[in-house]
Structure 1
Amino acid sequence: MPRTIVRLKLAGVVAAALVAAGVATGPAAQAHDRTPTLAELAHRHGRYFGSATDNPELTDSAYTKILGREFDMITPGNGMKWYATEPQQGVFDWSKGDEIVKLARANHQRVRAHTLVWHSQLPDWLTSREWTAAQLRAVLKKHITAEVRHYRGKVYSWDVVNEAFNEDGTYRETIWYKTLGPGYIADALRWAHQADPHAKLYLNDYNIEAVGPKSDAYYKLAQNLRAQGVPLDGIGFQAHLALQYGYPSTLEDNLRRFARLGLDTALTEVDVRMQLPATDAKLAEQATWYRDLTRACLAVRRCVGVTVWDYTDRYSWIPAVFPGEGAALPWDEQLEPKPAYSALREALGR
């Protein structure tokens, strides 16, 4: 018998013995040895780890490669907002949202859909005229129903109402509140639930990470909505943080009190900005914050996941809105991981 055949037979015997002993071989073993992604690490805790994205950057193949690899939940940054989806009254355009849903499906990712009711990024036809309460209520119901039906069965959750309160806990004087009163929130949740009974429905806001007047307002609202049987599944803590304002040390306690109401929570738009230039000390502090907020979520059973507001400084919204600030995300502008990325892995790897 040729020596080559003998060696092949022996190799087969050895492989069979290894398999029988429960030792993995071949590609499965190589996959097992591969460094797990943020999503895979989060999955071990029963959580997701996501990123926002937006349509313009989807032409960047280096960017989309990391987006498709590291994350298992995607949020469209702008493509599902009102100005994009109903640019003319009664004329709907789903193309931007559909593109991101298609990308997520191709990468076996879920979608946190964002957002149905907000005071910002509304089309001119909606903001340039006066509406009666009956008229605006009909417009709002039609929009919510059309959009949620279009994405029925394609998304994990909706940020139904976004940024409804001021910092002092009073209602924000939006077109919705001024014309319809505070009941617009319950109505929006009910209409969204009717259009897709299986989607998780959230209220979402910034500066509610710490216990305080604004998060107290959401707590009281959530209590009232739950008591009325309104379909509310969770509260989204945006977590747009800034080093110069200090870490929200009561975050875990705050997540826990909403969980006691029977609600899910999520960190939905996380970034940690700093005054530029970035220094090693600032990047180290930023990393600690990313680690701590992730640990806070992991410590509360009903905190279901973390989403960064895009993952790279290359596409961050911060510099355009906060001049002189930036470097807010776990990857830099060259798509290289920063200390924050290692800190996230450390938090999720425990």
Structure 2
Amino acid sequence: MVNGRWHRALLAGTLGVLTIAGAVVVPGVAGAATGLGATAAARGRYFGAAVQPAKLTDPAYTRILDQEFNSVTPENALEWDAVEPARNQFTFTAADRVVDRARAQGAAARGRGLVSPSANQVAWVTVLGTADDARAALRTHITATVGHFRGRIKTWDVVSEALSDNGAVRPSVFANRLGPAYIEEAFRDARAADPGARLCYNDYGIEDRGLAKTQAVYNLVRDFKARGVPIDCVGLESHFISPAAIPSTYGQTVAAFAALGVDVEITELDIGGSGTAQSDGYRRVVSACVAVSRCTGITVWGVRDTDSWRANLTPLLFDAAGARKPAYYGALSAMRICARAC
């Protein structure tokens, strides 16, 4: 453990933090890389952001994106309703824009939404009447989407939010037609579409290892690993309404999933609040990830507070003007300090 007073000194607003020609320097960490993405990359990890394609015309938005993040996730542009709104009619234009721009900037891209609740909002999907029809639709969607980005997207959230809070499989078009086995089928289809891609199960509300939902995901991953179902990682979405909502077992949960032989990624992080409390919340989450060697990266769900899906909570690392918040320095200093001492 690092002395708590040292953490607080580094995190107290911007005290003790210097900005030189746009680069962030934390005193006491000699030779540290600058910026979130560069610092993470120096530790063999990524620090990414969810990107809205329409905002790529905003110079302030892209300046932060390019300077701070070495990974991007197309925020909603890869959801089922965005990619295949009509059967066998695929549109990848918006997602291509995000992915190709990231690659041009030397950043990686994560894929999401292959099978998620957005499928249940698509009219043609809701009327799939038989198991064979549902299976064909699932396979075609995954094969076309993963195949389109083969070699450009190296990590996919194959199935997201498939379990209920009680640990049971959530009712959905595919669960109703194929049963729980649709999750396994989706992973096998994704592996066939791109054998080199990393495949993740992703969900919210699984950050506390004592909860029924977390235990159900744990058992799912353990079962997949035991039977040779292709799964490489688990994504913890980590949407927290406030720092107080971060469970005390967060680090233990990350470590428990990693012990199953999969990587762990924090995929949609945001923490409501402001000031020192929010900064400490980000420090705690980043520290929990960096302390586990198989926690390979973190994605915040947006760039500035005003870009957030819940902007009223001011949950991100940059304010409306694009200025770094105390939360930014909490995340950055945790990445640097924990790389040496956690």
TM-superposed CA distance for 1:120, in Å, is 2.2
Partner of 1:346: 333
The 1-side partners of 2:327 and 2:317 are apart by: 5
The 1-side partners of 2:37 and 2:227 are apart by: 36
What are the Cα deviations for residues 260-301 of structure 1, in whole angstroms up to 9, with x where unaligned? Answer: 110000100000124xxxxxxx42111101001000001001
Partner of 2:149: 151
What pairs with 1:168-187 in structure 2 (closer than 5 Å)? Answer: 168-187=166-185
- Which residue among 293, 298, 302 is the counterpart of 2:290? 298
What are the Cα deviations for residues 139-163 of structure 1, in whole angstroms up to 9, with x where unaligned? Answer: 0000100110000000120000000
TM-superposed CA distance for 1:244, in Å, is 7.2
The 2-side partners of 1:166 and 1:225 are apart by: 19
What pairs with 1:302-321 in structure 2 (closer than 5 Å)? Answer: 302-319=294-311
TM-superposed CA distance for 1:43, in Å, is 1.7
Partner of 1:80: 78
- Which residue among 114, 117, 120 is the counterpart of 1:119? 117
What are the Cα deviations for residues 37-74 of structure 1, in whole angstroms up to 9, with x where unaligned? Answer: 11111122221100011112111111111101110010
Partner of 1:336: 323
Partner of 1:19: none
Instruction: Say if 1:133 and 1:180, in contact at 8 Å, map to a contact too.
Output: yes
The 1-side partners of 2:226 and 2:108 are apart by: 30
Instruction: Say if 2:157 and 2:200, in contact at 8 Å, map to a contact too.
Output: yes
Aligned Cα root-mean-square deviation (Å): 1.6
The 2-side partners of 1:239 and 1:195 are apart by: 28
Matched residue type, 1:313: D
Q: Summarize the Cα distance change of 1:224–1:34 in structure 2 as closer, same or farther, 3 Å threshold.
A: closer
Does 2:228 correspond to 1:236? no
Unaligned runs of 5+ in 2: 1-29, 338-342
Runs of 4+ in 1 over 3 A off after TM superposition: 32-35
Unaligned runs of 5+ in 1: 1-31, 275-281, 320-324
* Matched residue SS, 1:202: strand
The 2-side partners of 1:82 and 1:246 are apart by: 30
Instruction: Say if 1:119 and 1:175, in contact at 8 Å, map to a contact too.
Output: no
Instruction: Say if 1:42 and 1:48, in contact at 8 Å, map to a contact too.
Output: yes
TM-superposed CA distance for 1:33, in Å, is 8.7
Which structure is higher in RCO with an 8 Å CA cutoff and minimum separation 6? 2
Partner of 2:5: none
Partner of 1:253: 252
Matched residue type, 1:342: Y
Q: TM-score, normalised by structure 1?
A: 0.84
Q: TM-score, normalised by structure 2?
A: 0.86
Q: Summarize the Cα distance change of 1:255–1:244 in structure 2 as closer, same or farther, 3 Å threshold.
A: closer
Instruction: Say if 1:255 and 1:297, in contact at 8 Å, map to a contact too.
Output: yes
Partner of 1:225: 224
Instruction: Say if 1:141 and 1:191, in contact at 8 Å, map to a contact too.
Output: yes
* Matched residue SS, 2:235: strand
